Structure 1
C-alpha cells in the first residue's frame, strides 16, 4: 500500500476518532441542557443514565481506537496489550449494556418523553456496540442496503485479531 493510501486512511481515522469523541460530548451536553431538566423524578434520571452511560463508554472507546489506529494503519498491527484491552472492552461493554437495560426496567421513567427517548438512547448504544464489536453496520447511505448483508467484520475486531499474530 502506498504512503498516499496511508495518508488518506490516517485522515479518515482522525475524522472518525474526533467524530466519536465529539458525539460523546454532544450527548453529555444535550443530557445536561435539554434532557435532565425535563425529568421530574430521581428514578427518571437513573433510567436516563442507565441508557446513556453504555453509549458514552462505547463512543469514547471507539474514538480512542480510531485515533490510536492512525499509528499502525498500513504499517503494522495493533499492539497486543491494546488488543487485549479491546477484547476486554467487548465483554465489559456487553455487561454494561445489559446492566443499562436492567436500570431502565427498574427505574422506568414516568415522563412520556423519557419513556420513549431513554430506550432509544440505549438502543443507540447497542447499535454502536454491534457496529464495533460484532458486525459492521456503518456504510454510506447510498450503499447501506447493498452492503449490510455482507456481514463484514468491524475494523476494530480485524485489528484485534491481527494483533494475535504479533
Structure 2
C-alpha cells in the first residue's frame, strides 16, 4: 500500500507542479503578448508589473515546491535546505505583495478596465500566497464551501512544520 500511495502522490504532485508553472507561463505570456501591447500609459504598465510580479513569483515557487516534494513525499521530511528557503520565501512574499500593492497604488491605472485587471491580478497573487502559506483555499468546487471553512493547513506549511 505504501508504494502505491507514494506513486499516486508523486503523480499528483507532478500535475500540481507543472500546472502552477504553466499558470505562471500563461499569465506572463498573456501580459507580454496581449495586455501590455494595448497599454500606452507608462504608469498603467508599471501598475500591471507591480501586480503581476508577485503573482508570478508565488506561482513559480508553488510549482517548484510540488516538483521538489515528489522526492520526499511518503519517505522523509522536507530537506533542511529546502525548508530554510521556503521559510525565507514565506516572509519575502509578504514584502513582495506589499511592494506590489504600493506600486499599484502609486501608479494607479488611468483606465477603469486596466485598473480592474491590475487589482484582480494582484488579488489573485495574494490569494495564491494565502493558499500556499496560510490557509488551504483550493478544493473541488462542489466541496469548496463546506471544506474551506475548516481552515486547513496547506501541504507546504505541513511540510515546513514536519521537518522542524
* TM-score when normalising by structure 1: 0.97
Corresponding residue for 1:41? 41
Cross-structure match for 1:133: 133
TM (normalized to structure 2)? 0.98
Partner of 1:115: 115
Name stretches of at least 5 consecutive residues in structure 1 with no aligned partner: none
Q: RMSD of the alignment, in Å?
A: 0.7
Distance 2:79 2:162 in 1: 10
- Corresponding position of 1:70: 70
Aligned residues: 164
Q: Residues of 2 paired with 1:72 and 1:59: CA distance?
A: 21
Q: Which runs of 5+ in 2 are unaligned?
A: none
Counterpart for residue 61 of structure 1: 61
Mapping 1:89-104, distance limit 5 Å: 89-104=89-104
| Mapped contact 1:39–1:111 kept (Cα < 8 A) | no
Q: Structure 1 residue runs of 4+, over 4 Å off?
A: none
Distance in 2 of aligned mates of 1:77 and 1:22: 27
**Structure 1 partner of 2:8:** 8
Q: Secondary structure at the match of 2:149?
A: helix
